[in-house]
Structure 1
Amino acid sequence: MTRALSTPPVIASGLLADSPQPVLRVTGGLLLRPWEDTDAPPFLSAYQDGEIRLWHTRRPSTEVQVREWFETYRQDWKREKGGHWAITRDGAEVLGRIALRGLDFDDGIADVAYWVLPAARGAGVASRALSALTTWALEEIGFHRLELDHSTRNPASCRVAIKSGYLLEGTKRSAALHDDGRHDMHLHARIRDY
C-alpha cells in the first residue's frame, strides 16, 4: 500500500535563518530595522505610556531586561520563530515597534503585532509600517496569510488594520487577559493575492 505524501511546506525552512534580518523601507522616510541595544531607552519608555500599557500586558521594567528581549528577538530570527523591527524615522529616531510572530512555515501563516509612541500617532506611521511589513512577508517571503488581533476596545488598532488591508473576520470572545480583565478580540487577516 502506498501512502500519500504530506503537502510540502509553503515556505522552505532556512529561508530566513540563512540571511540577516532585513531593513525594510517604508514610505514617508520611515525605516524598519532590527532592534539595537542603544534602542533600550525609547523601548522602555514606550511601556510607560498609558495607551501602550492598556493593550500590552507583558512589559519590561529595566533597560537590562529590554536588552535581554532584544537578544531573544535576534534568536527568534535565527530560529525562524519571528522577526522584530524598530519603526524608525530614517533609521534613527524610534517611533514604534512591529513584529511578525508565530511563524508557521508549513501552512504559510504568521501573526503581526505593533505599537507606536505617542508622538507618532495619528500620522499614519503604524499603517505604513504594517503595509510595508505585509508586502515583504507576503510577496518576498511567501506567507499566504497574516493575522492580527486587538482588543475590541481599541478602535485605533482596528483602523490601522483595516487601512492596511486586513479584513475583519470576527470576534474572539474573552480571548485575552488585560490589566482590567478579559477582553474580546477582533481577528483581522490579510491573504496573499486577495
Structure 2
Amino acid sequence: MITDPPLPAVPAVVPAMVPAVVPEGRMAAAAQPVLAVSAGLELRPWRPEDAGALVAAGRDAAIRQWNLLAVPTAEDARRRIARMQQRWQAEEAAIWAMARPGGEALGLVGWNDVDLAAGSAEIVYWVLPHARGGGLVVEAVRRAGRWALDELGLHRLTLCHSTANPASCRVADRAGYTVEGTMRSALRHADGWHDQHLHALVAGDL
C-alpha cells in the first residue's frame, strides 16, 4: 500500500512576519514614570486623592463635550483612576495628571489605544478651566510625545479632534503634529456625528 509522506510538523508558535516595534512587556515591567516638563509642571500618575479633579472635569462643559467624559461621583473617579493603573499594566494606555510639582491635578494627558507591536497610540488631553491659557496643554503634549517616541519607542502618534474644536487644531500645530486629513462622521458626540481632523507625529519629526 502506498501512503503519502507525513506532513512537516507545524511549529507551536508561528513567528511574526514583521517584528514588534516595541517588545511586549516594556511598559508592564516598569512603574509609570513621573515626567518633568518644566520648572512649574510635571506629568505624574493619577492618585486616588485626585478624584476631585476628575469630578470637576466631568462637570466642565467643554471637557464633557469634547472628551465624552462623565464622572458623576468621587467613587466613580477613584474607579477610573484604578482603571488607569490597570491599563498601564495591560499595556493598553499611559495616562498622566498634569500637575505642579507636589500639587493637585490640573489636567490630563496620555495615550489611548497603545499598540506596542504596531508602534502606535492616540493622544488624549484636557485641562481644567482655572489652568487654561498658559500653554500647559502644549507643553504636556510635547513631553508626552517625547516619552512615547524616544523613551517607549513607538513610531507613530495620532491626535484626533472634532472639526468644530479649533483649539485642538492649535494644540496639534504647536506641538508639531502634521494635519493629514479629515475623517468624515468619525465620532459621535452628544449633538450627533462629527467629522474629525487627523494629525500625526512620527519618529524623526521632533
When the two structures are superposed, what TM-score results if normalisation uses the length of structure 2?
0.90
Aligned residue pair count: 193
**What letter matches 1:136 in structure 2?**
W
* Distance of 2:66 and 2:151 partners within structure 1: 30
Counterpart in 2 of 1:174? 185
Matched ranges for 1:148-187 at <5 A:
148-187=159-198
Task: Find the aligned partners of 1:23 and 1:87 in 2 and give their Cα distance.
Answer: 10
Instruction: Please name the residue that 1:138 is paired with.
Output: 149
In terms of Rg, which structure is larger?
2
Contact 1:32 1:91 (C-alpha < 8 Å) held by counterparts: no
- Answer yes or no: is the 8 Å Cα contact 1:98–1:112 preserved in 2: yes
- State the AA in 2 paired with 1:156: A
**Partner-residue secondary structure (3-state), 2:59:** coil
Tell me, what secondary structure is at the counterpart of 1:69? helix
Counting only pairs closer than 5 Å after superposition, residues 108-123 of structure 1 correspond to structure 2 as 108-123=119-134
For residue 60 of structure 1, what is the aligned residue in structure 2?
71
Post-superposition Cα deviations, 1:32-73, rounded to whole Å, max 9, x if no partner, equal 000000000111111111111221224111110111011110
TM-score by length of 1: 0.95
Distance (whole Å) between structure 1 residues aligned to residue 190 and residue 78 of structure 2: 24
Runs of 4+ in structure 1 deviating by more than 6 angstroms, as ranges, are none
Which amino acid counterpart does residue 166 of structure 1 have in structure 2?
Y
Q: Over the residues paired in the alignment, what is the CA RMSD in angstroms?
A: 1.5
Name the SS of the counterpart of 1:18 in structure 2: coil
2:142 is paired with a residue of what secondary structure? helix
- How far apart, CA to CA, are the structure 2 residues paired with 1:30 and 1:42? 16
Structure 1: which 5+ runs fail to align?
A: none
In structure 2, how many angstroms separate the alpha carbons of the residues matched to 1:58 and 1:33? 20
Change (3 A) 1:39 1:4: closer
Matched, 1:26 2:4: no
In structure 2, distance between residues paired with 1:93 and 1:4: 47
Contact (CA 8 Å) 2:63, 2:69: kept in 1 or not? no
Q: Which runs of 5+ in 2 are unaligned?
A: 1-7, 9-13
